[in-house]
Structures are given as C-alpha cells and as structure tokens.
Amino acid sequence: SQAHAASNLYVTDGAQMASISCVNPSLTFMALTARAADHAVKSLRKA
C-alpha cells in the first residue's frame, strides 16, 4: 500500500491489514513486498 502523505513510501507488512486473518499471511506479505520492489525498480529506471 502506498502512503498518502509520502508518494515514495510503501507499507508491505502487517500494518497495512485492517484486521487479522485466520491463516498465516507470510506469503501474502512476501508477494506484496516483491510487487512493491518491482514497482520501485521500474520507477527508478524511468528517472
């Protein structure tokens, strides 16, 4: 999730979840982090 106050800040851990889940969310967090990292690399290559 991208932060509203800072355009270059992304949250990729449990803080972005509105509530807890009944299953282990580790794979979800890893996927979100990989996606955010890919986006960061693409953004830096454009600059």
The pLDDT assigned to 2 comes to 73
| Contact by Cβ (8 Å): 40, 10 | yes
The pLDDT assigned to 34 comes to 94
In a domain, 1, yes or no: no
Model pLDDT for residues 1-47, shown as the tens digit of each residue: 777 888 778 888 887 788 877 888 889 889 989 999 999 899 889 87
The pLDDT assigned to 44 comes to 87
In a domain, 6, yes or no: no
| Contact by Cβ (8 Å): 2, 32 | no
In a domain, 36, yes or no: yes
How many structural domains compose the chain?
1
Alpha helices in 1-47 (DSSP H): 26-46
In a domain, 7, yes or no: no
The pLDDT assigned to 14 comes to 80
Nearest to 36 by CA among 7, 10, 5: 10
| Contact by Cβ (8 Å): 17, 1 | no
In a domain, 3, yes or no: no
Q: Is 4 exposed, middle or buried (0-12, 13-18, 19+ CB in 10 A)?
A: exposed
